[in-house]
Structure 1
């Protein structure tokens, strides 16, 4: 007889408690509703830049932790960062300088070759290595929510750090090897050129990362394209010796790879200040490629975590 009233009282108490919980805990204001955003939506460009800035310490820590690590497990370790470019220079010197005589008409051909063989490959790696950043970072993409541009930026910073030891080796070698390019104040201009080179490289990485993420077969094509760029950028020869057509020569002069190497050589080997046209062209290439590459990458932000 008493069981039914007791059960009715219990249910009434539970109903009141539930109603009270709903009223106190689940009231959402109109302002809070406006601040909600759908999951997986691409943030606005300004908001995206702000998110990257908030993660600047992580980007730097990640780049620094991975830098100078490509030769781990080898006997010489990071010494290969210096030894390998020097061996490459020796091969090109024998084949092109001695056998094919591309050195004719070039002052300090040894230094000319060392600068080209050492400082052009970072541009190639910006494309070939940068194209893999989304694939290599897929575990992070699956596990965390963050702006995907973190990955190309971190890779470019790491590449810049990796290039510093070979750059120092270039400066030492051109002093040691005849005809001896001695330090002058022009060497200070190496640093703004280096900065512009890696801003340009960041833009290339943005382009390559997006294209390869959406079209994975491109990772097999980039090495061929960058190799063609390498041989067409005056790494071991001077354009003037082989090209007589003024229009074609002018077109080749705007090649950013050749432009960067020429500016390095002017400062390091020949004690000359690169002309204003060269600075303007390199700045335009660097800033333009970086800005366009960043926007190009951001447009497909929500697609980088999709399995293909």
Structure 2
């Protein structure tokens, strides 16, 4: 079936670059526009190129949403920092003062701040990824574009919002006794955040497709993140409660424990993390984003249905 291309002014020019190449039209050798099925999954290489072509839109959208999400509150974007800070204060009162889990941990306040702030980043990406296709369902049904742009936008939005959070965390561990000492190892912190972001992206992609097929998973995410929090040594040390070497080794292979452990070594204890820790976290990051992208891409044709 063929059809003439509508006049150029019938299509909003500022949207062409985002949706071009994935619409239901294609030009043949004679210049005639031919209709083709909409929503068909592109080969992986073309899919990645389509995402790359839309990188500017994804970035601008993520940056705008990062600082507008709290616009309805009196304190506005201050909640980017206040939310994990209040959560950390709660954990300090319960675990640090009442349960005395701080015993044996040097600079427990800094230990807890790093744990809560860095864990909060991954938990928000996980929750946002699970809701990405649901909140973007109107856009999915109206336009044809790589659906992975939605969970990717969520992760980038959280990454942008993580900027003031990390800055606040660093200032607090410098200001609150016992004061952390600045060392050259602090320069390695962006590498940790980059690897964590890669891991978060893969996690968000997996959660997005899983929640699309099983919507009830969005109700379970909160319980999973809470269990993961307790299994990542956010507010206590494993060595005090776990005696079995095999179980301890398994817990320390947790990617979020690695993120927290490396960050604490860099910022609090002036210790260079082991090569094994860096390699293990890198493996988690690469495997997460690779598996997550493939898993999400395989369900591309189904996201506009239902």
- TM-score range with shorter-chain normalisation? 0.7 to 0.9
Q: CA deviation at 1:39?
A: 3.5
Larger helix proportion of the pair = 1
Q: CA deviation at 1:31?
A: 9.2
8 Å contact from structure 2 (residues 38, 144) kept in 1 = no
8 Å contact from structure 2 (residues 39, 304) kept in 1 = no
Alignment of 1:209-288 (within 5 A): 209-288=208-287
Query: Where does residue 109 of structure 1 map in the other structure?
Result: 108
Instruction: Give the aligned CA root-mean-square deviation in angstroms.
Output: 1.8
Query: Where does residue 8 of structure 2 map in the other structure?
Result: none
Q: CA deviation at 1:70?
A: 2.6
Query: Where does residue 136 of structure 2 map in the other structure?
Result: 137
- For normalisation by structure 1, the TM-score amounts to 0.87
Deviations 1:89-140 (A, max 9, x none): 2221111111111001100000000111111011111221210000111111
Query: Where does residue 124 of structure 2 map in the other structure?
Result: 125
Task: Return the alpha-carbon distance in structure 1 between the equivalents of residues 192 and 55 of structure 2.
Answer: 23
* Residue 183 (structure 1) aligned with residue 179 (structure 2): no
Unaligned runs of 5+ in 2: 1-26
Q: CA deviation at 1:215?
A: 1.0
Query: Any idea what SS the aligned residue of 1:274 has?
Result: coil
Q: Which has the larger radius of gyration?
A: 1
Query: Where does residue 96 of structure 1 map in the other structure?
Result: 95
Deviations 1:182-219 (A, max 9, x none): 22111111100000001100000000000001111111
Task: Return the alpha-carbon distance in structure 2 between the equivalents of residues 276 and 31 of structure 1.
Answer: 59
Task: Return the alpha-carbon distance in structure 2 between the equivalents of residues 79 and 37 of structure 1.
Answer: 48
Alignment of 1:50-61 (within 5 A): 50-61=49-60
Q: CA deviation at 1:84?
A: 2.4
* Greater mean alpha carbon deviation, residues 216-225 or residues 62-71: 62-71
- For normalisation by structure 2, the TM-score amounts to 0.87
Task: Return the alpha-carbon distance in structure 2 between the equivalents of residues 258 and 63 of structure 1.
Answer: 27
Task: Return the alpha-carbon distance in structure 1 between the equivalents of residues 141 and 214 of structure 2.
Answer: 19
Q: CA deviation at 1:37?
A: 5.4
Alignment CA distance shift 1:265-1:36 (3 Å):
same
Task: Return the alpha-carbon distance in structure 2 between the equivalents of residues 29 and 156 of structure 1.
Answer: 38
Unaligned runs of 5+ in 1: 1-27
